[in-house]
Structure 1
């Protein structure tokens, strides 16, 4: 057996940090429940509001082992803040996250995956196509970043920042996907929409039938339509509490 060190930070951090930890741990568990994890690889990171500190998973833990207490607090350079923390992080994996957190101060969460569907669409020259309602949400705020090998080159950070700009969705060519969110729930729902869009696109293309593409005017107006549907609130605000309850029902240990 290879036991995971047990930590309990509930009464050792601020109430605000603890809530971010609980939500972020829930998000890791949801990725596992949806089959979006990749062994111990990929990351979801969240900035603690009002600070330059970021929470990320401990390198070597499976996503179903992530808890609120074993998330690692680091600075923007990837240095672990807590001297007594028994965990380390993946420096290569943090390159993408440090890049986006440096420039996207209004968005606290960055979610990165290597799912088959997102890699497949990201690896197609045409990228994401307007074939489903899910794709409309993503295309309204879509960006692309060319593959440069393993994300260990600091020089790549500037190019990634420029490619992302103010967008909330990114397909990383030959690599995977990234979503941003003002909340952890927003970033999760963005990835849900992007993943479903990629799944539907691959299924449509597999039929061999001639696809019907939605016009650009629909894509241009979808953000305003979404705001009306959600009464001015984001999908994360509406759906996230239900998602956290789902994680609690599945395994409440994530909130420890």
Structure 2
């Protein structure tokens, strides 16, 4: 694995960008820790603070549990490198992410997975079912995008943008899951809820019994409920604890 000094990178970026790099590297490590990675084949992108449309994305070919703050690659909207790096990038992998960042100013982070449960639910015609408390948070801001093949073509981007709209949870049919967050922590916590929603659904359907669904009236007030549950802190209620979890096992994500 090619390496680059964290000191070299840190000296070339703003304190805000370095803090974002640490958070994004932590997110990659957490995705690996929770078993959501697909070898090297999915991506988490984060927009760097400032007026420029500059982003951080994973170096192509590294496992998620290898990624560090300094190894993340800085790119523009077209996935061209903006900071010297020994690591390759995968422009095709940025196809989905770039078009979401382009139309969603609130999209500080876009997290995409190909988990077993997520892909399984994405193939079910009924989609996400209102059968768990977790699902109520997802259903309050959920969209679907039909499968058009491996996401390599730019002409798919307008349809993906249209289908996502202002939702923060996206089921990519026959493909996987995607979350949008104002920051890394928010996108991660959303995916944690999304993934558990799908796992619960697969388990419940496999039991063979009739299912009890949540009253639709409950869904309308979930934004307020989320604020109450997190004491107004949003994803920050859990993110520091997740970082402490990483620090106890392997703090090298900060390098």
Q: TM-score, normalized by length of structure 1?
A: 0.96
The residue aligned with 1:241 is 240
Counterpart contact for 2:78–2:91, Cα < 8 Å: no
Take 1:110 and 1:73, find their aligned partners in 2: how far apart are those partners? Answer: 15
- Secondary structure in structure 1 of the residue aligned to 2:107: coil
Q: Where in structure 2 are the equivalents of 1:13-28 lying within 5 Å?
A: 13-28=13-28
> What's the offset of the Cα at 1:65?
0.8
Long gaps (5+) in structure 1: none
The residue aligned with 2:63 is 62
> What's the offset of the Cα at 1:4?
2.8
Take 1:32 and 1:230, find their aligned partners in 2: how far apart are those partners? Answer: 25
Take 2:243 and 2:165, find their aligned partners in 1: how far apart are those partners? Answer: 30
* Matching of residue 251 in structure 1 with residue 250 in structure 2: yes
Long gaps (5+) in structure 2: none
Q: Deviations over 1:86-136 (max 9, x none)?
A: 122112210000010101112200000000001000110000001111111
The residue aligned with 2:212 is 212
The residue aligned with 1:48 is 48
> What's the offset of the Cα at 1:155?
0.6
- Secondary structure in structure 2 of the residue aligned to 1:112: strand
Q: Deviations over 1:147-170 (max 9, x none)?
A: 000111101000000000000000
* Matching of residue 195 in structure 1 with residue 185 in structure 2: no
The residue aligned with 1:7 is 5
Counterpart contact for 1:92–1:150, Cα < 8 Å: no
Over 4 Å off, 4+ runs: none
Take 2:247 and 2:93, find their aligned partners in 1: how far apart are those partners? Answer: 28
Q: Where in structure 2 are the equivalents of 1:1-256 lying within 5 Å?
A: 3-8=1-6, 9-50=9-50, 51-82=52-83, 84-234=84-234, 236-256=235-255
RMSD: 0.9
Take 2:79 and 2:69, find their aligned partners in 1: how far apart are those partners? Answer: 19
Take 1:133 and 1:223, find their aligned partners in 2: how far apart are those partners? Answer: 13
Counterpart contact for 1:138–1:193, Cα < 8 Å: yes
- Secondary structure in structure 2 of the residue aligned to 1:86: coil
> What's the offset of the Cα at 1:10?
2.2
- Secondary structure in structure 2 of the residue aligned to 1:12: coil
Take 2:247 and 2:237, find their aligned partners in 1: how far apart are those partners? Answer: 17
